[in-house]
Amino acid sequence: MLKNFLLSTLLVCFTITLGAQQAFPTPDLITVDREVAPLSDYIGNGKPTVVAVWATWCQPCHLELDHMKSFLDAWENEYGAQFLAISVDQRHMINRIKPLIKRKKWKYDVLVDTDGKLQSVLGFRSIPQMYVLNGKGEIVQSFTGYAAGREQQVDRLVRRLSAK
């Protein structure tokens, strides 16, 4: 019995090590104008995708999005990748998102997950949270928290994914 358990555990670990990738969930979210937006319209369309989970009240999130914006043109125009910012602000906070985007000059597609659908499926506990997805919508790498210089690491991943 113990031998079977150990073999099963080793098989699971081996499979994870080989790179079995989790599909990014695609629930319906909303736009900043409160329109329904199926996340499946943005994920898994053949393009590498960077997804940043953030909130208006999260200063490290602002830093991360500020630093990523200088890479946006290259990701879209040179690599054919896309960037999506998903706010986890509650419904009563949505009216703060548009002014913040305008003030910060963020040109990201922005959706809002007011019901915490992504958090419940992905299990993250803090933000910012960032996911780099391949063209199939599978998570290639995730990052928790903000770290200066991460944008270069994400850039290398996006370049590598776009070359496939």
How far is the C-alpha of 39 from the C-alpha of 86, rounded, in Å? 10
Evaluate if residue 6 carries a pLDDT over 60: no
Give the SS3 label for residue 35.
coil
Q: Which residue has the higher pLDDT, 156 or 14?
A: 156
Q: What is the pLDDT of residue 14?
A: 39
pLDDT band at residue 132 under the 50/70/90 scheme:
very high
Tens-digit pLDDT profile for residues 63-74: 999 999 999 999
Domains of the chain, earliest start first = 22-162 (3.40.30.10)
Alpha-carbon distance of 57 to 79, in angstroms, equals 31
Q: From CA 59, how far away is CA 57, in angstroms rounded?
A: 6
Strand locations in 88-128, DSSP E? 109-112
User: If pLDDT is split at 50, 70 and 90, which confidence band does 94 have?
Assistant: very high
**For residues 137-153, average pLDDT:** 94
157 membership: H or E segment, kind and range: helix 150-162
Give CA–CA dist 161/158, Å, rounded.
Answer: 5
* Residue 5 pLDDT greater than 60, yes or no: no
Give the start-end residues of each E strand in 2-128: 28-31, 36-38, 49-54, 82-87, 109-112
Per-residue pLDDT at 36 exceeds 80: yes
143 CB neighbour count, 10 Å cutoff: 16
Look at residue 164 in the predicted model and tell me its pLDDT.
61
- Rg of the chain over all Cα atoms, to the nearest angstrom: 17
Comparing CA positions, the residue from 18, 128, 119 lying closest to residue 66 is 128
- Compute φ and ψ for 120, nearest 5 degrees: -70, -35
Lowest mean pLDDT among 20-24, 83-87, 116-120: 20-24
